Amino acid sequence: MATLAGKVALLTGAARRIGAATARSLHAAGANVVIHYRRSSQDAETLQAELNAIRHASCFLVQGDLLDVANIPRIVAQTLEQTGQLDVLVNNASSFYPTPLDTLSEQQFDDLIGTNLKAPLFMAQAAAPHLQASQGCIINMVDIHGMRPLKGYTAYCVAKAGLLMLTQSLARELGPDVRVNGVAPGAILWPEMSENHAMHTDIIARTALQREGSPEDIAKAILFLVRDAGYITGQVLPVDGGRLLNH
């Protein structure tokens, strides 16, 4: 099986949850990883210590608010300063919360579009020259609700639909040097808010595999797209337990 030894992956929003699982997966396959975080410094430092205990000087940290686009070139530059190269960009950072139409605010719209669409675009822009030099790849964290709308989440769904098209557009823009793909999770680590419980139960009931997926399910799909999918670009892989079969 191919190894990622000697490769460097930058993952946004990767101190916790799916991002952390993905960092562990890429690291276990041999890659050095750079964990970006905004506020989760303690989680990021704990993950860094865990991975560096496995392999010395194999995990690095960068901090920054992706909603401020001016931070993005610095995040990439600091990655290069610490590692000397960049082979993989995983645009994982995301905001997710309901925005019913009658209460949707411009600030909420800007936040959801900014985190889920604008930041991945400008991360790709900043990383592109380095990924072209290394014949690298980009993985975007899309969502099945970028394909099928979720009631009450209009701004989020629009942002993820845009990210799906961004994935395809970047694949055309950056080919043949850089592959660009995405994963679209279904019910994975549903936010722990009581008002979402009934919706969560309903979604699981309408999922072919009748269960919630795990962060590791997403991490394995990302590892496949990074390591084993050399002839795949411009695709978004649903990892949803069959949720899209019965919307």
In 16-175, where does DSSP find H-type helix? 17-28, 41-54, 72-83, 106-113, 119-134, 154-174
pTM of structure = 0.95
CB-CB contact of 98 with 71 (8 Å): no
Q: pLDDT tens digit string along 29-44? A: 999 999 999 999 999 9
pLDDT at 195: 53
Q: pLDDT tens digit string along 102-116? A: 999 999 999 999 999
In angstroms, the CA 94 to CA 142 distance is 9
pLDDT at 246: 80
pLDDT at 206: 84
Phi, psi of 10 (to 5 degrees): -105, 125
pLDDT at 200: 73
Q: So which residues are the catalytic ones?
A: 156
In this structure, are strands 59-63 and 32-37 parallel, antiparallel, or unpaired?
parallel
CATH number of 8-236: 3.40.50.720
pLDDT at 203: 80
Q: Structural domain boundaries of the chain?
A: 8-236
Phi, psi of 239 (to 5 degrees): -125, 80
pLDDT at 188: 74
- Angle, helices 154-174/119-134, rounded to nearest 10 degrees: 20
- Ranges under pLDDT 70 in the chain: 1, 189-198, 247
pLDDT at 234: 98
Q: What is the DSSP letter of 92?
A: -
- Give which of 189, 206, 100, 106 is closest to 151, Cα–Cα: 100
Q: Listing from the earlier edge strand, what are the strands of the sheet with 179-185?
A: 59-63, 32-37, 8-11, 88-91, 137-141, 179-185, 236-239
pLDDT at 75: 98
CA angle (91 as vertex; 20, 73 as ends), nearest 5? 110
In angstroms, the CA 133 to CA 139 distance is 17
pLDDT at 187: 78
- Give which of 140, 10, 122, 125 is closest to 67, Cα–Cα: 122
Q: What three-state secondary structure class fits 207?
A: coil
pLDDT at 202: 80
In angstroms, the CA 111 to CA 108 distance is 5
- Give which of 27, 247, 219, 226 is closest to 239, Cα–Cα: 219
